Structure 1
């Protein structure tokens, strides 16, 4: 059996680059594998597992809270909430509130952005979570 694999290896060494690429393509189609995986490993990709993998959607764990709109009559209340959420100084928080849409929190947990959204909406702001 070792001689058979040695013969195949010798034949592979004699292939041109185009022939080797064609061989890889044929192996992928014939055996249902993907040779493009990192580290030079060939990954098996049977039809059943690829269909199941397509159905699996990664759950988002990090969220951004975007301040969309600030009504003029609610600006001061919203400014106070923004300052408490971001620890920005008065001028920085004012600039942020006046230049909407702007992110208030980035890469935060769902609970954190939900609570911040609630506070901002109670103050009169329009916010979105992305």
Structure 2
């Protein structure tokens, strides 16, 4: 009789393993639908907004000032954001009262300048692109073309007056309109 019970227990174990393996292939829960990949829009165009974000923006736009204030404080609380003032610490202050002793402050002489490409002559565009490529280190022709076509752009920033004047002179020779700030 002992041999029979051992044989039954072994059969039951095999049956359970078989049952588990069969039920593993059956999926009682439907799988979540796979989202389709979207192709990003080309640069320079507005990217499409998801319907969820669009709905939220529309609802927020229809809130009154009190509701906006409540929403703002709730978001600050939930997102653990610091309380940043919307205006300067002193707010809008009227002109300060004149001091009895007038201290003459020396005028600060500007020593650092920024050179901006404001616009360019279309006829001399190729020459300007080549000059920009030569002047700005690490820039290839494609980058120089995009840089020039993106005018107004900063050519160089935080440079001394002499260098800014030389840069302006060189770029104006090839049809650029330059502004030094």
TM-score, normalised relative to structure 2: 0.43
Deviation track 1:94-126 (CA, whole Å, cap 9, x = no partner) reads 100001000001011101110010000011111
Q: Which stretches in structure 2 are left out of the alignment for 5+ residues? A: 1-98
What pairs with 1:1-130 in structure 2 (closer than 5 Å)? 47-48=101-102, 50=103, 52-53=104-105, 56-87=106-137, 88-130=139-181
Q: Which has the larger radius of gyration?
A: 2
CA-CA distance at 1:90 after TM superposition? 1.0
Work out the CA distance in 2 between the residues paired with 1:81 and 1:58.
34
Q: For residues 104 and 93 of structure 1, what CA distance do their matches in structure 2 show?
A: 11
Shift of 1:72: 1.2
Distance 1:81 1:90 in 2: 10
Specify the SS of the correspondent of 1:73.
Answer: helix
| C-alpha distance after superposition, 1:31-54 (max 9, x if no partner) | x7xxxxxxxxxxxxx714x2x11x
Task: Render the CA deviation track for 1:38-82: whole Å, top value 9, x for unaligned.
Answer: xxxxxxxx714x2x11xx211111100000111211101111111
1:91 positional shift: 1.1
RMSD: 1.7
State the aligned residue count.
83
Q: How far apart, in 1, do the equivalents of 2:115 and 2:127 lie? A: 18
Larger strand proportion of the pair: 1
